[in-house]
Structure 1
Amino acid sequence: MSNEDDIARVKRQEQELVLERFDEEVAFALGTSVRERALAEGLSLVVDIRTWDRQLFFSATAGTSADNAEWVRRKINTVRRFQRASYRMVLERGEQPFSPQSGADPADYVIAGGGFPIRVTGAGIVGALTISGLPGRKDHAVAVDAICDHLGRPRADYALPESAP
């Protein structure tokens, strides 16, 4: 797959992986599934699920640190401001920090995979499911897999190839 193919696949993920509703119960189900996967696979990661005004789920597994929570905060800001998966930003722009002219201070925004927009039918993007602790492409995949599982969609239909182009 080319970089353009990956961008098209992430756009498809963003458009089609839409929840009928999003509330505390859905956030808990999504977050719990990510945590259980992390424990089963021995993944060191942080998962944060939120609406724009409050955090609904947070969990950290062994091997993570406060740095992961900081990466999550910056990825969430990127998803909120640009209304797209933070990994799509990586594919479109590379992982270089935002320029000073962008107004997106690198202390508060980051171009790195793992932040995925939570889109609700009839409401649009209302929050983010964010992962930190793995390489960015894998952080993104864990988030997408969780939403696929929640929606009962086959992961393979939405997965990016294992390695970047």
Structure 2
Amino acid sequence: MTANPPDVTGYDPDSRDAQPEGSLETLIARIEAEIRELQFPGFSLDDSLNLGLLLVELGKERGLPIAIDITKGEQVLFHVALPGATPDNGHWIRAKKRTAARYEVPSLLVGLRARLSGGRIEDNAWFDQALYAAHGGSFPLYVTGVGAVATVTVSGLPQLQDHDLVVEALRDILRSAGAE
């Protein structure tokens, strides 16, 4: 059960095998481009509901065992677990969204940037793994000219697939909003 077909030539953050040369840098550049691309003109409660429902629809169509969360500060705007999701997904959502909110970039990017320096952020004593997770699946919701105002998080798939599912939904929502 995957969100998207695996990119066999790209960087796999879950693999311990040797990675294709330049693939880490390419993935980081792709995510940085997604940040620039995926900006809302404003973000309302209706936008949150529409995004959450789209992720539910994608998850149900594909039979994905995921949990979905959209949070603004301390306020949960949307949260659901689809069939196959487990209580562990709730832990991962909390940890990934804390990371995305703290650094104001996708949780996957936090982990990848540390790897670019030759290590893992989890190896730093100051990175509390009980609270944070630098794994893919949480993406800040950016408002143009404002910055990050909330987070959308998916948990249940390999981390790159969690990230890609969120990006797919954000693109669809923003494309739909632009068409109205």
TM-superposition CA deviations, 1:63-88 (whole Å, max 9, x none): 11111011000001101111110111
Change (3 A) 1:91 1:121: same
Residue 129 (str. 1) matches residue 160 (str. 2): no
Cα shift at 1:96 = 5.5
Shift of 1:53: 2.7
Aligned pair count reads 151
% identity of equivalent residues? 34
Q: Which amino acid in structure 2 is aligned with residue 6 of structure 1?
A: L
Answer yes or no: is 1:20 the counterpart of 2:41. yes
Structure-2-length-normalised TM-score: 0.79
Q: Which amino acid in 2 is paired with 1:107? A: A
Q: For the Cα contact (< 8 Å) 1:98–1:105, is it kept in 2?
A: no
The answer as to whether partners of 1:74 and 1:109 remain within 8 angstroms in 2 is yes
Aligned match of 2:18: none
Query: 1:90 offset after TM fit, Å?
Result: 2.6
**Corresponding residue SS for 1:88:** helix
Instruction: Check if 1:140 corresponds to 2:163.
Output: yes
Consecutive unaligned residues in structure 2, runs of 5 or more? 1-9, 11-22
CA distance in 1, matches of 2:100, 2:154: 12
Q: Post-superposition shift, 1:98?
A: 4.9
Q: Which has the larger radius of gyration?
A: 2
| RMSD of aligned residue pairs (Cα, Å) | 1.5
| Structure 2 letter corresponding to 1:144 | V
Alignment pair present for 1:97 and 2:122? yes
Distance 1:65 1:29, change over 3 A: same
Instruction: Identify which of 24, 27, 44 aligns with 2:65.
Output: 44
